[in-house]
Amino acid sequence: MDKQDDKTGVEKSGAEARPRRKPRAPEPAPPEQQPAPPQPERQPPATAAEPKPRRPKRAAKPEPPRDRQRAPRAAAPSDPRRAALALLAAVHEGATLTEAAGSLDALSPADRARAQRLAATALRFRGRADAVLAPLLHRAPRPETADLLRLAVTEMLALGEAPHGVVNAAVAAARAGGPKAAAAAGMVNAVLRRAAEAQAAWDAAPPARLPDWLRSPLAARWGEAVAAAIEAAHETTPPIDLTGKPGATLPGEALPTGSHRLPPGARVSTLPGYDSGYWWVQDAAAALPVRLLDPRAGERIADLCAAPGGKTMQIAAAGAQVTAIDLSPARLERVAENLRRTGLTADLVAADATAWRPETPLDAVLLDAPCSATGTIRRHPELPLIRDGAMIPDLVRVQAALIDHALSLLKPGGRLVYAVCSLHPAEGEAQLAAARTRHPGLVVEPPDLPGLDPAWVVDGAIRTRPDHWADRGGLDGFFIVRLRIPG
């Protein structure tokens, strides 16, 4: 999923992140993350309750449901820490961090970036924070107080901030949060002073555990050790990857597959080549589908579900005639903006991808299908808290319909690359098996790409995971396969 903002490297929500849920009262996190909430007349140790994910709305037709912009109930204050708390509160309401970021417009760019970084880091390390806080609490605090505690503990023990300043800021935030929050200020002060001495407990704690609806199929497919390695990878702040035009000079470390990698937090718009449009932000795994498609000059190719356009630009840079299709005109405008910056051209069509049809059959189709986005949790650490897996069957049906339609657009001998930024086998390995059953003559063409680790190729398809390239900063999770119809 190449949903990053080319100016900041910050991820933007896209087709893969669309399923939403109706609001529901928060419920406790799984017991492996924290103790159960207190019962009447008891005082068991507990940390903040996580909200129970809400069910998505069912799409009216085989296109993914669209993102719904949400914001915190109150505007975020000017202080970055309190703004981060507002972002965490929005996540409890079912919003993504990207959706909630609209409440930060009053902040300076630096403070806005810090607030987003603090919120994301607190979400990444919530498992360790809960492990530190659980023995220090006599009862579960209110959700907003729990967020305050987690954020402060993360600042002290993960980011190395001075405990005195963090504790004082947390107590001030509690006192400014209304009568109920203010009543907890003394507890916040006492708990955080003890938590500041708990570095050993933090270091020994496990990462946040994935929800069972995702962890169970991962463990069944790859084993407990891999599931744990993926959870550990989700704690790592991801680097920023770049894809460039052929022959362009790119900043950063050259990766074996052809992408270039910058450290987390790099301000890409200030780097050489940005204004000239020589390159764009795109995770190294997200660049693989087009490399597998192998577009050639003069070919007629469709990019279905194209926004924000990273893959469209890859195809256009190869000299192919590309038509980018997306249901949303607003999202297509982002594609147009990216094309203007890079000086590349494509035909943009706002249409239902399952209804659009070219005048003549195509040489190739790229289908980066709507999916659960579970391969991007390292970039979107809020996803396990706002999803419950109920959207998987609907997404699988949408993906199957898109595969069938995409195949019908090809000339004899044409090729289709199907890709999803999902770790869930139902959207990848099982989806491929089902497609081959529906289309008996379909040929899977194994990848032969420079720098591709042979261990990533399974049954002719590419499967990347967040724990791959752990020494380099990891990868998004993708399933990618090239299919050819008989010619």
At 350, is the secondary structure helix, strand, or coil?
Answer: strand
Integer Cα distance of 463 and 422 in angstroms: 10
Query: How many C-alpha atoms does 424 have within 13 Å on its Cβ side?
Result: 24
Angle between the N-to-C axes of helices 224-233 and 212-222, in degrees from 0 to 180, rounded to the nearest 10: 130
Phi (first) and psi of residue 410, to 5 degrees: -90, 150
Pinpoint the alpha helices (H) of 104-176: 109-124, 126-133, 143-157, 163-175
Q: Report DSSP letters for 29-94, one per residue.
A: PPTTTSPPPPPTT------PPPPPPPPBPPPSSSSPPPP-----SS---SSHHHHHHHHHHHHHTT
Q: Please, which residues bridge with residue 457 across strands?
A: 462
At 149, is the secondary structure helix, strand, or coil?
Answer: helix
List, in order, residues 6 or more apart from 161 with CB less than 8 Å away.
155
Angle between the N-to-C axes of helices 143-157 and 185-195, in degrees from 0 to 180, rounded to the nearest 10: 30
Looking at 187, 188, 421, 426, which residue is catalytic? 421
Q: Report DSSP letters for 204-229, one per residue.
A: HSPPPPPPHHHHHHHHHHH-HHHHHH
Q: Are strands 461-464 and 478-484 parallel, antiparallel or unpaired?
A: antiparallel
Query: In angstroms, what is the C-alpha Rg of the chain?
Result: 23
3-state DSSP helix/strand/coil % of the chain, to nearest 5: 40, 15, 45
Sheet strand arrangement including 240-244: 253-254, 260-262, 240-244, 279-281
Q: Please, which residues bridge with residue 366 across strands?
A: 303, 417
Integer Cα distance of 446 and 461 in angstroms: 6
Contact 370, 395 (CB under 8 A): yes
Q: 371 an active-site residue? A: no
Identify residue 457 by its one-letter amino acid code.
V
Pinpoint the alpha helices (H) of 321-428: 329-342, 383-386, 392-408
Could you check whether the bond before residue 65 is cis, i.e. omega within 30 degrees of 0?
Answer: no
List, in order, residues 6 or more apart from 230 with CB less than 8 Å away.
210, 218, 423, 465, 466, 467, 477
Give the other-Cβ count within 10 Å of 477's Cβ: 28
Active site residues: 421
